Structure 1
């Protein structure tokens, strides 16, 4: 593994004082000036230090006293970068991956799979730790976790401070979120899981996007279903917090005949009623166990009897800019009311599925893909304005039979990068897996801008 410039190796000095020693060239590189005093930070740990220059050490080495390293809980095996903010010298990036509630689930095989996150370590650098919530010591603000050792290419167990930024892929209570906020600031993403109704409320007030969202109301009684059927003739009833198309029912009304279509355990099903009273009874029984919303049905494009939508995986880069790293066409199973691959659908390159349905002209297809990409990025930028700190999103975009784009849903929990494997693109899978860490690097105090940024990860999609 080779590393670029602006990286340092931490070495223990012979001095017992709280000091840091570096070559003047390194000080110039990080724009430290000639400061003699300041403080050093590694995640949540901070210590006042003396700053010394030494022309005889390598510009790639920084000497830190063993006492200071112990106080900071600073491992010496990662390859670090340094940045300066006024009198603060930041050692990092220091990124945490919160992947489980219980440390017992971090098995050897799972930790090996987690190495996929650090595939781009030669560009990422820093201390990357994997940890579980039950190993967080709130009192001492320390974490028992596993730090990536780039020399041995494995996760090394240790005690570490709270990271400078956290990428979480599990749910967190408000108590835990506020705890991390109090210690580290707004450095945890995706920091708020929102449902379909919350999304609708936000975007229905956005003048640029509200006409791209299907009309939606909360389900309170069967009369709400009948009211929307009178208006649209076709509607969806969806769980407010459902995932992967589970629990969704499509309802159509024609000549006072009500048809309820659904997909359960991989099989399409339907219930037909010829009277309002029968439909009313069915609705009351089926939708009484959780919160639901009712939504205008969109006439999405289809192919061979399956509906089509597009999963756009949009991720922030190290400059805090949203980049659409993938657009995957999802074709639902024939007759299915959902397009989810987990519900029997299939994944296609966007250009391939559009070529089958819309046009064989490459320029037309490219223009449409660019429209979808721009739309997905606009959605993410609008979400930023709502005050949500997200770094990776799955934006589901629909294209209706008249060529109009619709926002179907946003997966803001942890959109699965394995969708790239559904189109047999392993390189794309690794891009989607590693890209969120570059946004985490920015949150940790190492923002990067400039024309070379796109070369950090191969995002030419």
Structure 2
């Protein structure tokens, strides 16, 4: 049995002040026949089985009491599943998507390492289980990043120089700290990192654009048929002397950048690989995370034009596409297409 023609879709957001902004974006770019409202975890009235949500009615923003939606699109950046699990009990299994969107990078690394994507994943270790000095000796360059991290925060670049000194950098390539040959790099790092859980990742020597670091971000989303599909492939170019591409100077459509990074005969092969690997990575992540509707896969190209997966993000930043109008409709309409698809499947 199909639901009414206009399914009710709820967008779950972190705080009330962001309901209107988020709702406006998703409303603007879709053309489906559905009802949409935004709400926060605090807006759910569990006993009454109602939700205080914000919606647009006849051009006026209005806060009203709604029944539970047919489908929930989770835009609440979280590690905890409690709210989502309670909602699923009320509206049906697999009727909420992006259940977990604050990914544990160590778990995902292990997942990808055991899949056929292993060749694309740099060697990675738990910081507290290895001798960092030995890894620095082996790879000459490593990155140390939090297991739970975003926007490149607290990512350290550690490089063994030709004279035997070790440079520790944060965001920019200029070292914040220099460990001389006889100094303990482990002691310095322990002091910097504190109690948080970190990973150590083999450093990749990147192909650069005019001496600037470049990454490739692939946004993968499910469509109206419930299939994973690539919505956008962009390149972020870091500021000069910075390695953190989250603090980027410019964002390009990848087809503008690739001819400057690789030989022309390799471009189509790299684009095909980006599509295939990203969809496969999304499928692998979903087996571990539960119901997902979108994620982004960050790649870099090394000096030999080989692709490496650097990480997966469960809540892709969509403001990076604001100047790439060709992508905007797709990236905002796809989650609602997938929500519509889920609404048409009978409750399990």
TM-score, normalising length from structure 2? Answer: 0.90
1:111 equivalent in alignment to 2:20: yes
Aligned with 2:8 (options 51, 76, 94): 94
Deviation at 1:268, TM superposition (A): 4.6
Deviation at 1:365, TM superposition (A): 2.5
Aligned with 1:442 (options 336, 341, 344): 341
Deviation at 1:215, TM superposition (A): 0.8
Aligned with 1:317 (options 207, 218, 223): 223
Q: Deviations over 1:176-214 (max 9, x none)?
A: 2221121122221210132211111211111x1112111
Counterparts of 1:191 and 1:357, CA distance in 2: 36
Deviation at 1:244, TM superposition (A): 0.8
Q: Deviations over 1:270-315 (max 9, x none)?
A: 3212134342331121112411100111122111222221011111
Inter-CA distance 127–355: structure 2 relative to 1 (3 Å threshold): same
Inter-CA distance 268–99: structure 2 relative to 1 (3 Å threshold): farther
Corresponding residue for residue 146 of structure 2: 239
Corresponding residue for residue 60 of structure 1: none
Q: SS at the partner of 1:325? A: strand
Alignment gaps of 5+ in structure 2? none
Counterparts of 2:6 and 2:248, CA distance in 1: 43
Corresponding residue for residue 43 of structure 2: 135
Inter-CA distance 298–373: structure 2 relative to 1 (3 Å threshold): same
Q: Deviations over 1:142-184 (max 9, x none)?
A: 10112343xx244433211111111111145332222112112
Corresponding residue for residue 52 of structure 2: 144
Counterparts of 1:112 and 1:281, CA distance in 2: 45
Aligned with 1:417 (options 283, 297, 318): 318
Deviation at 1:425, TM superposition (A): 1.9
Aligned with 1:329 (options 223, 229, 235): 235
User: Conserved in 2, the CA contact under 8 Å of 1:136 and 1:143?
Assistant: yes
Corresponding residue for residue 350 of structure 1: 254
Alignment gaps of 5+ in structure 1? 1-83, 448-461
> What is the Cα-based RMSD across aligned positions, in Å?
2.3
Q: SS at the partner of 2:10? A: strand
Aligned with 1:205 (options 114, 117, 138): 114
Corresponding residue for residue 88 of structure 2: 181
Q: SS at the partner of 2:205? A: coil
Corresponding residue for residue 196 of structure 1: 105
1:302 equivalent in alignment to 2:203: no
User: Conserved in 2, the CA contact under 8 Å of 1:93 and 1:446?
Assistant: no
Inter-CA distance 135–217: structure 2 relative to 1 (3 Å threshold): same
Query: How many positions carry a matched residue from both structures?
Result: 342
Q: Deviations over 1:397-418 (max 9, x none)?
A: 1211222211111110x21222
376-385 vs 131-140, which moves further:
376-385
Moved over 4 A (4+): none
Aligned with 2:124 (options 203, 216, 232): 216
TM-score, normalising length from structure 1? Answer: 0.69
User: Conserved in 1, the CA contact under 8 Å of 2:55 and 2:62?
Assistant: yes
Deviation at 1:261, TM superposition (A): 1.8
